[in-house]
A and B are shown apart, each in its own frame.
Chain A
Amino acid sequence: MSAANTNTGGWKDTDIRHWLNTELFSKLPDELQEIIVPTKIVQVLDDGERVETEDKVFLLSRTQMFGIGLWSDVEPEDTQIDIFTVQKNRVKRCGDKGAWWYGLRSPQRGSDKKFASVNSSGAADRGSADRNRGISPCFCVS
């Protein structure tokens, strides 16, 4: 998520957010780039600060992946996405690793280093911000 092993600033200050919206975005087909609409993302950090971004390409949040729960205070505008209600459907492949961990944009409350992630069996996990994990982003067109 970030080379500096920190979740300070939340999703907004991550290296991966910058990378997704510059390098990865530039690799998308031109006709797709033209229609992608920035998505508003809101996080409430541990210090109570409300941080808002608008991103063309983004990682999903823990709430979008697992539904509303104790973790959802940090992302008050998010709701679950219907294709992730079954654990099996949260499992993702990552190159020659097969099923693999991938990162979510949600900082772990009470930690200054960790972000939420999904493990190789589709369950909720977390990991330090400087760990290499799979990347499975998405976007909206309206």
Chain B
Amino acid sequence: MIPYFRKEAREFVSWAQLQQDIINGESPLESFDQILIRLKNAELVMLTVGHDEKGKTYFCFEDCINEERFMNPTWTNEGGWAATDMRRWLNNTFFDLLPDELQAVIKPTRIVQIIDGKQVMTEDNIFLFSKTQMFGKGDWSDIEPEDTHIDIFNTEKQRVKECGKHGTWWYWLRSPNSGNSNYFCLVSYSGNAYNYYASSYRGVAPGFCIA
């Protein structure tokens, strides 16, 4: 017999039910499962489910949203993720574009960075992923000590994302490039790690949690 595999089709009930199932430890979701949503601006977004090494469930934008953004309007990573224009924009303007049913279940996620030797903590409804979540532990992980690798980003190929007219494209991570005051980390169109000026327009592929 020739073996072949086909993903089992499962019915999506509701965000509220999904949240309850995850809280009860009965999540029907496996990594790489996908859910399609439509933003209030009519843009369709595919979400891919991933889990970090602690078992936390993330809903990750499979590709970049249509709009490219900078991390900050000037060439600075001062203050890290907490101080970025991107963070403010995602958690205000962009959050409002999510379907009401989804907004109602999103739980703020605790994000910790070490900036100039000090721990800076935020709680965000929507966030960019960190270099550690994307590439695993490395010498860049000292600044994000609570982050662990998310299992759907195992290979370069799995990190490649589309961005509107560009096709495959660079997209931002929330990690400031340590040792440099101008750069944040990003992922290249080949799925590799890069750094670039915070004021550059690049793709935005955020994520969120509901439990």
Spell out A's residues near B (CB within 8 Å).
31-32, 86-88, 91-93, 98-99, 119-123
Chain A residues with CB under 8 A of B151: none
Given contacts A91-B168, A93-B157, A122-B167, contact A86 B190 (CB under 8 A): no
Chain B residues with CB under 8 A of A123: 167-168
The residue that A88 contacts in the complex, of B155, B168, B192, with Cβ under 8 A, is B168
Interface majority SS on A: helix, strand, loop or mixed? loop
The residue that B191 contacts in the complex, of A86, A87, A99, with Cβ under 8 A, is A99
Establish whether residues A99 and B162, one from each chain, have CB atoms under 8 Å apart when the complex forms. no
Q: How many inter-chain contacts with C-beta < 8 Å in the A-B complex?
A: 50
Given contacts A92-B157, A99-B157, A123-B167, contact A86 B162 (CB under 8 A): yes
Given contacts A88-B161, A121-B160, A122-B168, contact A93 B155 (CB under 8 A): yes
Is there a chain A Cβ closer than 8 Å to B63's Cβ?
yes
Is there a chain A Cβ closer than 8 Å to B156's Cβ?
yes
Chain A to chain B: the 4 pairs with minimum beta-carbon distance, closest first: A87-B167, A98-B156, A121-B189, A120-B190
Instruction: Give 11 CB contacts A-B under 8 Å.
Output: A86-B162, A88-B161, A88-B168, A91-B157, A91-B191, A93-B156, A98-B157, A98-B191, A121-B167, A121-B190, A122-B189
- Over the window 173-194 of chain B, the binary record of Cβ atoms lying under 8 Å from chain A Cβ atoms (1 yes, 0 no) is 0000000000000001111100
New A-B contacts (10) at CB < 8 Å, excluding given A88-B162, A93-B157? A86-B162, A88-B161, A88-B167, A99-B160, A99-B190, A99-B192, A120-B156, A121-B188, A122-B189, A123-B167
